[in-house]
A and B are shown apart, each in its own frame.
Chain A
Amino acid sequence: MGAEAQSIPGLGAPADTEWETVVGLEVHAELATETKLFSASPNRFGGDPNTHIDPVSLGLPGSLPVLNQKAVELAIRVGLALNCRIQPSVFARKNYFYPDMPKDFQISQYDQPINVDGWLELPTGRRIGIERAHIEEDTGKTVHIGGGGRIHEAGYSLVDYNRAGVPLVEIVGHPELRSATEARQYVAELRSILVAVGASDGKMEEGSLRVDCNVSVRPAGSDRLGTRCEIKNVNSLRSLGRAIDYESRRQIDLLTSGQPIEQQTRHWNEDDGRTHALRSKEEDHDYRYFPEPDLLPLDPSPQWVEQIRQELPPLPRDRRLRLAEAAPSADAAHIALAVERSLDELAVAAIGQGGVPERVMTHIVHNLADGPGELTPQALASLVGMEDKGQLTATQAKRVLAVLVDRGGSPQEAAQKLGFEAMESVELESLVDGLVADHPDEWSRFCDGDAKLTGFFVGQAMKATQGRADGKAVTQLLNSRRG
């Protein structure tokens, strides 16, 4: 990352110095292949320990790696989507001793990575530079047993190599993010892109997407980088934001009290909401990279890269623009949410079939968090049409929608089955007459201008009709009756 560990010019400055947080992220994403990067064992989350293993992923003597074509294609998709240059690349051995890698080295890319010099555009329009996005293999998983679960008291460790050799891309961003919020936007956007191009499932909770963040602080306006700390174990967007906020606060406190920042790796603890220095010795890592002699260079032909580019699906940014065009009055955050949940295509299609954009977006944002299920654009368009004509209340529409998601079919049919026949206006008028007669006190207060009573009467109307009355129509009747 090249952040020079120089002292902060503002050290010893008064406590009211304005500080700026600087964040650079390294994101590891597991590629959505059928098999591992260098062997034919399945690449699948979970499964009984050590059931997705073969001689290559166990590093057995004599075994030889053979590169997975699909992994390369997915890595190129990622590179293209991040506006990188795709270049000839070489695999390298990163040497270290740790039981998660049985051959005592990890195959990665070092000085000649496949994707370089790209950028990612945040939803705000700010572009964050991408230094590289290279291919490497994942490691196995170790669990610590004994000693009450605390690492330093552990009796022994158990190793599962199912994940060893799973293909990854490591996306290294420049330290150009300026806040926890921007860091979250970056990861959310990156995840959307990875999912959109089919490169990864992007599930942070299953470890498909892992984020290491480098955090430093400096006096606002300075163009020098402060000493950074690397934070590991950030497993959700929420913890990413919390960890960065905590860490920059910690560093600012140290600097304002005249203490130096020590460059170190720190561990985010979700429970106490702090970062902790790792107990391991902070020796300078010396991985002694050298070209992997068992693998040939990778030099994707321009034709192949061009073909992959042609086949790239629309990216989240373009999808947001498209939905914003279809629903011009929609909130930017709601547009982003729709794209993130992959509901934008449904929304655009439903609007295209005549659905009122505002009503379509309401369902997209509030009622389809678990996905569209069996719901078709046509059904969504006619559902909001029924709402628009007053044939269904908002509450009823929500229940009809749940049926459509569950079983498909048309909203007319579903509404009928649920017994949601729209109330005739005559029926509604006699209902309101009755309410006025039954509640003379409330009625006179309403007539005197107490607007809160609207809710009371609508509530009574709903109760009397088990929710069949249209709240808006009742309000209109009340207002017109008041004169």
Chain B
Amino acid sequence: MGQQRITRAECAHVAALARLELTDEELDRFTGQLDELLDHVAEVEALDVEGLHPTMHALPIANQLRPDVPGEVLDRDEVLAQAPLAEDGQFRVPPVLGEAP
């Protein structure tokens, strides 16, 4: 374990971005856990990878493509029946303030 890699404030910021409400005790605990995770990442980072081809994905395949052919759609009434609120064939949600981020 080296120096601290993530501060409590950073952890709180990340939690806020993920809409997580953490108690003080949880914040301490998760800051420590994230710190350990970052220690591990640092170990991997320290490896000499000169000349190695980067792995973009765990599977050694690329280009899984689908033909552009329309398929089945879901039944709107069935879908909306499972939504908390619906109106005029649409999902009803709390007022959206401002623009999409």
* A positions within 8 Å CB-CB of B: 33-35, 39-42, 48-55, 58, 66-72, 88, 90, 95-100, 139, 142-147, 151-152, 154-161, 232, 265, 267, 278-281, 285-288, 291, 295-300
Contact = CB atoms under 8 A, between A and B. Distances in A.
B26 to A, nearest CB: 20
B3 interface: no
Most A-side CB within 10 Å, residue of B14, B80, B95, B99: B95
A-side interface mostly: loop
A146 B87 CA distance: 13
Contact of B93 (A52, A55, A88, A157): A157
Contacts of A72: 65
A67 B67 CA distance: 9
A287 B73 CA distance: 30
Given A96-B101, A147-B95, 8 more contacts: A34-B69, A50-B91, A51-B76, A68-B66, A151-B98, A158-B91, A161-B91, A286-B17
Interface string B29-60: 00000000000000000000000000011010
The 4 closest A-B pairs by CB, nearest first: A280-B98, A40-B71, A70-B68, A69-B65
A52 B72 CA distance: 9
Given A151-B98, A160-B90, A278-B99, A53 B74 contact: yes
Contacts of A98: 96, 100-101
Question: How many B residues are at the interface, by size bracket?
Answer: 35 or more
B65 A50 contact: no
Contacts of A52: 73
B95 A144 contact: yes
Contacts of A147: 95
A43 to B, nearest CB: 9
29 contacts: A34-B69, A35-B71, A40-B72, A42-B73, A48-B76, A49-B90, A50-B80, A50-B90, A51-B76, A53-B76, A54-B73, A55-B74, A67-B65, A70-B67, A72-B65, A98-B96, A99-B93, A139-B100, A147-B95, A152-B97, A159-B93, A232-B99, A278-B99, A279-B97, A279-B98, A286-B17, A295-B64, A296-B59, A296-B62
A299 B63 contact: yes
A175 B90 CA distance: 39
A159 B73 contact: no
B1 interface: no
Given A35-B69, A69-B66, A69-B67, A278 B98 contact: yes
A174 to B, nearest CB: 24
Contacts of B90: 49-50, 143, 158-160
Contacts, number: 152
B3 to A, nearest CB: 23
Contacts of A278: 98-99
Contacts of A35: 68-71
B63 A300 contact: yes
Nearest to A141: B90
A361 to B, nearest CB: 39
A67 B64 CA distance: 7
B9 interface: no
Interface of B: 13-14, 17, 19, 56-57, 59, 61-74, 76, 79-80, 87-101
Contacts of B66: 40, 66-69
A49 B73 CA distance: 13
A155 B95 contact: yes
B69 A40 contact: yes
B95 to A, nearest CB: 4
A291 to B, nearest CB: 8
A163 B13 CA distance: 32
Given A33-B68, A100-B100, A90 B73 contact: no
A41 B63 contact: no
B68 A34 contact: yes
A296 B61 contact: yes
Most A-side CB within 10 Å, residue of B57, B72, B73: B73
A66 B68 contact: no
A55 B82 CA distance: 13
Contact of B73 (A41, A160, A285, A288): A41
A86 B13 CA distance: 37
B44 to A, nearest CB: 16
B94 to A, nearest CB: 6
Nearest to A288: B17
B23 to A, nearest CB: 21
A265 B67 contact: no
B73 to A, nearest CB: 5
Most A-side CB within 10 Å, residue of B19, B68, B74, B89: B68
A268 to B, nearest CB: 12
Contacts of B72: 40, 54
Nearest to A139: B100
A297 B88 CA distance: 40
Contacts of A95: 17
Nearest to B100: A98
A31 to B, nearest CB: 10
A160 B94 CA distance: 14
Contacts of A55: 74
A144 B14 CA distance: 30
Given A67-B64, A267-B99, A285-B101, A42 B76 contact: no
